[in-house]
Chains A and B, each alone.
Chain A
Amino acid sequence: MTYIAKPKFHHPGLPTNELGYTHRDYEGKISTLCAGCGHDSITASIIEACFELSIEPHRVAKISGIGCSSKTPDYFLGNSHGFNSVHGRMPSVLTGANLANRELIYLGVSGDGDSASIGFGQFAHAIRRAVNMVYIVENNGVYGLTKGQFSATADRGSKSKRGVVNTDSSIDLVAIALQLGATYVARSFSGDKRQLVPLIKGAIEHQGAAFLDVISPCVAFNNHVGSTKSFDYVREHNEAVNRLDVITGRAPIKIDYEPGKVEVVEQHDGTKLALRKLKDEYDPHDRLAAMNFLQQHAAKGQVVTGLLYVDTEPEDLHAHLNTVEAPLNTLSERELCPGAGVLEKINAGLR
């Protein structure tokens, strides 16, 4: 929390994107989170990703639940649509909004408490229904907003700030998302923007259910020795399987990795994901192998990060339901009430 407004002045040499905006144009209000909170770095990464993709802010809908993490949509994309829903209900509100208007980019922002405790069912159903969205969990292993109780993602055996050991098993949201059919699954760390920003960009470009678990230390309640979600612990146990560059047709990025080590994955919409492999054996197209890999490393106390799974031909809820392309609010009476003749036909079909 800071008392003064962030000055409007910006560096005179800041680059602009295709829309003529600087990254500062993607900011929101000044953050009210604790100084040093990992969530603020995720905010900065979302800003950077949207800036780099030249996204028009009014094409984005930010939807969240309750928690420090769920407050963050106020701090980025000040000119976008937003809905701060009730605790754990972000996925349903997002699903409804998406069904009503599929033309927007849906950014669901949630916390580990919001998604793995009270909203666990909501999370599961939005993923299994393949809602076209970016679902980001800002995962700190605690309920930050309510002063640091263990959340369901806290590892068994990890210690609270007051020294109490967590005896419950933890939920790995990435494993569940994989199992429930998410078509873009990644894990990252708020302290590694070089990895995180491209993963967010890839998720935005992905036309299906994209799930991102971002470990985000809570400096107030979960950044001590004995925590497995602290800056130090994550830096020591981070096992990155790959590094990503997102190449959009508009602004090609030069890749200067050693040949053979880079795999270019083309997504359905034409964007390319350049994946630099860090672990040779890791294949991000094999859902089952990914789940195994994750479990094996988790057992060793390692935190696997990177693009863990991607399906280049995703389908989404609209495709499954065969819904109309146009946003519902643009449909006129003529389309909504096609007349007695059509009704007669439908009735005939039911006889």
Chain B
Amino acid sequence: MQSTDIAAPDYFHKVVDCQWACPAHTPVPEYIRLIAAGRYSDAYMINWRSNVFPGILGRTCDRPCEPACRRGRVEKDPVAICRLKRVAADFKDDIRGRLPKPVAHRNGKRIALIGGGPASLAVARDLAPLGYHCVVFDQDPKAGGMMRTQIPKFRLPDAVIDEECDYILNLGIEFVGGRRIDSMKALLAENFDAIFVGSGAPRGRELDIPGRQEAAKNIHIGIDWLSSVSFGHIDKIGKRVIVLGGGNTAMDCCRSSRRLGGEDVKVIVRSGFEEMKASPWEKEDAMHEGIPILNYLVPKEFTHENGRLTGVVFEKVKAEYDDKGRRKLVPTGEPDEHIACDDVLVAVGQENAFPWIERDLGIEFDKWDMPKVDPKTMASTNPKIFFGGDAAFGPKNIIWAVAHGHEAALSIDKFCSGEDINDRPQPMVDIVSQKMGIHEWSYDNDISADKRYRVPLRDKVVALRDIKAEVELGYDVELALKEAERCLNCDVQTVFTGSLCIECDACVDICPMDCITFTDNGDEAELRTRLKAPSRNVTQDLYVADGLKTGRVMVKDEDVCLHCGLCAERCPTGAWDMQKYLIDMTQAEDRCRAPARSAA
């Protein structure tokens, strides 16, 4: 194998599994250490820079970081990265003084942002401090998008949304609430320097089966129903409720129903339990509230009497796999099942809709009627118009909307400065030795053996009584500290210098995870068969270094390294060192950084 180029920014970034997996590349271990140190405001600000909505995301994030977390491979459950983010938000001091101030002099450029959801707000937050005049249009009266209109208050209280939206709007952003954009052409005519489309994926998918029209009064489209609940237009539902669908909308529908009078609420899904789109914790939360999830039932017909819904007929199916491993649902042949109910919530998917974008503006659409958007720059085929969030590639989640927002803001800044938007600047990388003394490191390298701590919940009876009562109470300071200590500090990297190594094997002998092998070089697949411990996780890199006197190479399998620093403590010559690697992704304000290395 080639020796590893540890100077390439991506190499060590990938070792920080959580940060690599986070769409906004939040420096997770850095903020977790600050939480452990009781520095909640500092932890909050690190998050605020990367993901813009720490308090909101600390309650609602889809947390792609957690399945990626190394702790899950070493022990059982990942670090509760997401809920620790909430801790930073809950226990911080007043941080308003640390936020950018509205600029005294604008730079003369005007940017229109369509939709006031997380994507647009992230763009505006990045651009306003640079002097841009950002105008956010939303058809709803308040900013927040689906964070406000869809996510139920028992998961995300209004106060948190208000606080974090205000931090952004107070940067001197013009928010035009209650104004729907009906024509892109008309907006273009207003001569903005650039336009960002962050209008989301606002349409709930229909379920066209017999009885749909006749029983329409008691059949509701999930996202429309949830927004009506959110706005207070709906405050009750029948006793027996069926929720159709297995994604997060379905989970929010069923839990909301339980709070609005639904006593017998069921989630019914076509697919199997494992394949459901909802996250494991969302399913767990629903079942905890006494909501059964029934699988392999395909809705066939709504039954009704005198214009009133009486139930749903389901066909029973099972999963079969063809030789290519593709799943097909085939009828089991058992008789259909009729399940009686008073109301049905249809949560079978979300769609984009751009009826207000004329098709002759140079914005190309593909065969699925989605705009053609460059995933790196977020640019459409009209150089002035950018997309992000659910509007760009279909429904995703908040953190992806934020990540798109950062990239789009950078592109808009470059575009308005007459630069090539494809030249993406390099991230800022800082790598510093953590050595303080022979056995002293500036991070806590003692590995906690604790299992993941549960977040305390509000009593179920109390929680089900009030749709606005937040269910999760959040970690207290003590639990937060214990959970924070489970983090392995994956950003404190093991850095090896071959020319200093005397091949005494001290690091090999001490390493608790058998990560290190000194051996003859070979190609990667073959080398993996000769390491001290089985090396089966090929998604994790091998760190290969040469320059040894015997001509062998040092090979470190990054997979399950605990970052405990014992290798460096045992090294008599300092060939190993523990160095903290901070990577700061480029945002609009860093536009002038050098372009990225192509090797990275």
Contact = CB atoms under 8 A, between A and B. Distances in A.
A191 interface: yes
Contacts of A219: 502, 504, 572
Contact of A4 (B73, B445, B506, B508): B445
A188 to B, nearest CB: 13
Nearest to A47: B509
Contact of A13 (B504, B512, B536): B536
A5 to B, nearest CB: 8
Contact of A11 (B550, B560, B564, B573): B560
Contact of B506 (A5, A12, A40, A223): A40
A28 to B, nearest CB: 12
B572 A35 contact: yes
B504 A7 contact: no
A140 to B, nearest CB: 12
Nearest to A75: B509
26 contacts: A2-B439, A2-B569, A5-B446, A7-B449, A7-B512, A9-B75, A9-B513, A10-B513, A11-B514, A14-B514, A35-B570, A35-B572, A36-B502, A36-B504, A36-B570, A36-B571, A40-B506, A44-B505, A44-B508, A191-B503, A191-B505, A217-B504, A219-B504, A219-B572, A232-B502, A235-B550
B572 A235 contact: no
Contacts of A5: 446
Contacts of B506: 35-37, 40-41
B488 to A, nearest CB: 10
B457 to A, nearest CB: 29
Interface residues of A, number: 35
B449 A4 contact: no
Contacts of A35: 506, 569-572
Given A38-B504, A217-B504, A11 B533 contact: yes
Interface in B491-536: 502-506, 508-510, 512-515, 533-534, 536
A34 B514 contact: no
B339 interface: no
B186 interface: no
Given A3-B439, A231-B502, A8 B449 contact: yes
A1 interface: yes
A191 B536 contact: no
Interface in A18-66: 24, 31, 34-38, 40-41, 43-44
Contacts of B515: 11
Contact of B560 (A3, A12, A235): A12
B447 interface: yes
A123 B395 CA distance: 78
Interface of B: 73-75, 439-440, 445-447, 449, 502-506, 508-510, 512-515, 533-534, 536, 549-550, 560, 562, 564, 566, 569-573
B509 A41 contact: yes
Nearest to B504: A36
A6 interface: yes
A263 B505 CA distance: 30
Contact of A6 (B512, B533, B534): B512
A225 to B, nearest CB: 13
Given A11-B513, A11-B533, A36-B572, A4 B502 contact: no
A179 to B, nearest CB: 32
Interface of A: 1-15, 24, 31, 34-38, 40-41, 43-44, 190-191, 193, 217, 219, 223, 231-232, 235
A10 B550 contact: no
Q: Is the interface of A mostly helix, strand, loop or mixed?
A: loop
B446 A36 contact: no
A217 to B, nearest CB: 7
A4 B562 CA distance: 13
B502 to A, nearest CB: 5
A41 B508 CA distance: 9
A13 B533 CA distance: 7
Contacts of B564: 4, 7
A4 B446 contact: yes
Given A12-B73, A24-B512, 18 more contacts: A2-B569, A7-B449, A7-B562, A11-B513, A11-B534, A12-B74, A14-B534, A15-B534, A36-B506, A36-B573, A37-B504, A40-B505, A41-B504, A44-B508, A191-B503, A219-B502, A219-B572, A231-B504
Nearest to A8: B449
Contacts of B513: 9-11
B512 A9 contact: yes
Nearest to A9: B74
B439 A232 contact: no
B509 A43 contact: yes
B515 to A, nearest CB: 8
B572 A34 contact: yes
A236 to B, nearest CB: 10
Contacts of A41: 504-506, 509
B549 to A, nearest CB: 7
Contacts of A4: 439, 445-447, 564, 566
Contacts of B536: 13
A41 B506 CA distance: 7
Contacts of A3: 439-440
A235 B505 CA distance: 14
B81 to A, nearest CB: 19
A6 B570 contact: no
B498 to A, nearest CB: 15
Given A7-B564, A9-B75, A12-B73, A193 B549 contact: no
Contacts of A24: 512
Most buried by B among A1, A35, A38, A235: A35
Nearest to B509: A44
A38 B570 CA distance: 12
